[in-house]
Structure 1
Amino acid sequence: MKIYVFGTRGFPNIQGGVEKHCEELYTSMSDTYEITVFRRKPFVKSNTTYKKIHFIDLPTVKTKGLEAFLHSFLCVLYCIIKRPDITHVHNIGPGLFIPLLKMVGLKVVLTYHSPNYEHSKWSYLAKKGLKICEFIATKGADKIIFVNKIQLQKFNPVIQAKSVHIPNGIKKKKEIKDNSFIKSLGLSPFQYILSVGRITPEKGFDYLIKAYNLIKNKSIKLVIAGGCDHSSAYAKQLIHEADKSQVILTNYMNEEQLNHLYTYARLFVLPSFNEGYPIVLIEAINYQKPILASNIEANKSIGLAKEQYFEVGSVNDLKNKIENEINKEYTDIIYNINIPTWKEIANLVTNIYSQAAN
């Protein structure tokens, strides 16, 4: 069975939750299917094959609003010509083109990662456009995978009937015993707060920095591991505030580097305003880190203890919660949260492909 995939910038070593999802999922399936992933040329840093996965790199522009639209349209034309057994589309924006795939008789699976129209970076018209994309994509797809169960439950019975909840997963935690990498960043083991994600407004790093500036214990550093999505006034301002506050912005970190950062973090904080099913949060759980997360729906669906959540956007609440955590003696936390492995998730997606193909 031939599977074609678009709606992601690609992988490996390309930042993003959807990119991480696709890398872990498809590398867990590449022994079963012939998988081709369409990547966006401006972000590509590697060869055209990776762990039995074939890549097709198509052009696009690094312009907010046009990047995904242009690339997805080119992907659809390619799929129409090559006619794979399954076309797997990630995200509701690229899902706009699903009717074109259906018109020529192709089978389509959609993965709904998050309601992108809730992101503050989009204009009013862009948000309305994404809502239209959501309607078209969910109506047109043969099967839909929701990474967040709560999001699935918001849809009507017709959509729910062809949908399934399959969350993001984890893989075995890598044991790190060498702390030379974090020392190269000017850090000491268990003496820093870690947050991970793209430098975009919906991630809430601006108010995390404000909360950090208010804490009294300055021996604890703040590390934000993530690169800038697009050049923007927000990113420039955040970089300025981080520099002024002596916050460490690492830019993009690969998997190995993140393993080191998670291992030696004193506390993990996720201050997001919007998430789908946050991979960085379940990775922090996998590394048994003390965690604080904003009380948005997606984060609460993970099932942390009540005291581990703070009011989203509240500088004071976050500051108080951080101080409470770093004043405790550090200890790993054993979480009673069932998170499937990527291999288990791959098996579930395999079942979806079989259903869609029939």
Structure 2
Amino acid sequence: MTLRIGILGTRGIPNHYGGFEQFAEYLSTGLVAKGHEVFVYNSHNHPYNSSTWNDVQLIHCYDPEYQLGSFGQFIYDFNCIIDARRRNFDVILMLGFTSSSAWGWFYPQQSTLIFNMDGLEWKRTKYSKPVQKFLMLAEKLAVRFSHYHIADSIVIQSYLKSKYAISSEHIPYGAEILDNEDESLLQEYGVKKHGYYILMARMAAENNIEMILDGFHASNSTKQFLVIGSVDNKLGRQLVQKFKHDKRIVFTGGIYNHPQKIHTLKYYSNLYFHGHSVGGTNPSLLEAMASRALVAAHENAFNRSVLQDDAFYFSSPYEVKGLIENISRGEEQSCMIDRNLQKIKEQFNWETVIKKYEDFLQRCVVEKMSRSLKEKPTM
């Protein structure tokens, strides 16, 4: 069955932001390659302003976020939803719900509405208590107004079942396996093969960057620690100030649109630290696994569900210090890397993910059509 699909909830493609935008890029092009007609909604501020990209049709909607801040996201989502009402989509796939479910009364009910429920947004410490309460409400509204649900993590799937007594389809994200590492790229950062540690994340409290750096700072390591991510926010500036006298810690800033450089830095690192503690299956973790990095991850159910026993875990600066001072690379560590790579090949590759989405979307449309026919009054 060929579908007409609208994808909402991102700033748009091609990806210039990460997260859901990267996912929308892979998914939309993958579904188009399978013969479906796919539309992705783009902010009018998106740097790419053409009407198509790799045979994906783009719909540009007015987005006042640059003027209004976060409230502008609500206006942008509303504009996208109103436009979608006249497009006669078979499926509307909503990526996340933070600023869209408030408009649930306007969703086009003739389409099959499917939500990717994202992570537990209301747990993110960057939000104030009132905002966290709103996000809990937004989550409830997303459940109420959508027809079907997707969970990218089995932890999220279990949460939805427990909290709302709803079933959801578990479909994780994917990662691309790269083989183009270039050791000469390390020279830019003054590091050598297996001679440095690395983390790559947004400067957010729930990513536990300060915990990781506290542990490293207290260690006796002579290696460098590369912190990759923009520090242009309150926490980022605080961390730069706090560790400015530790010359081993290098804040590189963000590295954007250089997949070979990012892959190389992960591949040659001695240990890749993943501190994320909120959300579902994190794309950056999958990418580290695909880059054959040896992973040390924050101890939580989300990370455990992906890595299982093929990582080192920490939950305090003391444990980070212990990992840095005691882990050496050997056969056991190589086996952990190989098993994580096998997970990418078998569970988290884009071909499998896109096929699961296609099957689920088609199944939902058929089921909703069948239910509508049964509910239609007979003459």
TM-score, normalization by structure 2: 0.83
Matched, 1:344 2:352: yes
Instruction: Report how far residue 102 of structure 1 moved.
Output: 4.0
Residues 142 and 162, structure 1, Cα contact 8 Å, conserved in 2: no
Instruction: Report how far residue 252 of structure 1 moved.
Output: 3.4
Larger Rg: 2
Report the counterpart of residue 235 of structure 2 in structure 1: 234
Deviation string for 1:261-295 (max 9, x for gaps)?
A: 22222211111231311122122222332110001
The CA distance in 1 between the partners of 2:265 and 2:192, in whole Å, is 11
| 1:38-77 mapped onto 2 (5 Å cutoff) | 38-42=41-45, 44-48=46-50, 49-58=52-61, 59-62=63-66, 65-77=70-82
| 1:1-358 mapped onto 2 (5 Å cutoff) | 1-31=3-33, 32-42=35-45, 44-48=46-50, 49-58=52-61, 59-62=63-66, 65-97=70-102, 99-102=104-107, 104-156=109-161, 162-171=167-176, 173-218=177-222, 220-227=223-230, 232-241=233-242, 243-245=244-246, 246-254=249-257, 255-305=259-309, 308-311=312-315, 314-325=316-327, 327-328=328-329, 332=334, 333-335=337-339, 337=343, 338-358=346-366
Instruction: Report how far residue 89 of structure 1 moved.
Output: 0.5
Residues 15 and 252, structure 1, Cα contact 8 Å, conserved in 2: no
Residue 125 and residue 322 in structure 1: after superposition, are their counterparts in 2 closer, same or farther (change >3 A)?
same
Question: Match of 2:14, SS?
Answer: coil
Residue 353 and residue 234 in structure 1: after superposition, are their counterparts in 2 closer, same or farther (change >3 A)?
same
Paired AA for residue 256 in structure 2:
M
The CA distance in 2 between the partners of 1:104 and 1:177, in whole Å, is 48
The CA distance in 2 between the partners of 1:256 and 1:216, in whole Å, is 31
Residues 277 and 298, structure 1, Cα contact 8 Å, conserved in 2: yes
Instruction: Report how far residue 97 of structure 1 moved.
Output: 4.4
Residue 306 and residue 177 in structure 1: after superposition, are their counterparts in 2 closer, same or farther (change >3 A)?
closer
Question: Match of 2:308, SS?
Answer: coil
Which stretch of the first structure deviates more once superposed, 298-307 or 261-270? 298-307
Deviation string for 1:98-151 (max 9, x for gaps)?
A: 633445523211001101000001111111111111111012211111001121
Paired AA for residue 190 in structure 1:
H
The CA distance in 2 between the partners of 1:86 and 1:244, in whole Å, is 54
The CA distance in 1 between the partners of 2:101 and 2:287, in whole Å, is 31
Instruction: Report how far residue 256 of structure 1 moved.
Output: 2.9
The runs of at least 4 aligned residues of structure 1 exceeding 6 Å deviation read: none
Residue 36 and residue 11 in structure 1: after superposition, are their counterparts in 2 closer, same or farther (change >3 A)?
same
TM-score, normalization by structure 1: 0.88
The CA distance in 1 between the partners of 2:108 and 2:54, in whole Å, is 33
Instruction: Report how far residue 6 of structure 1 moved.
Output: 1.7
Residues 95 and 134, structure 1, Cα contact 8 Å, conserved in 2: no
Instruction: Report how far residue 47 of structure 1 moved.
Output: 4.5
Question: Match of 1:110, SS?
Answer: strand
Aligned length: 350
Which stretch of the first structure deviates more once superposed, 314-323 or 122-131? 314-323
The CA distance in 1 between the partners of 2:353 and 2:19, in whole Å, is 16
Aligned-pair identity (%):
19
Paired AA for residue 255 in structure 2:
Y
Residue 166 and residue 79 in structure 1: after superposition, are their counterparts in 2 closer, same or farther (change >3 A)?
same
- Structure 2 unaligned segments of length 5 or more: list them: 367-379
Deviation string for 1:287-327 (max 9, x for gaps)?
A: 3321100011211111332861111xx111112112222x4
Question: Match of 2:287, SS?
Answer: helix
The CA distance in 1 between the partners of 2:269 and 2:49, in whole Å, is 33
Deviation string for 1:235-269 (max 9, x for gaps)?
A: 32134345443423231332233222222222111
Paired AA for residue 211 in structure 1:
G
Cα root mean square deviation, aligned: 2.6
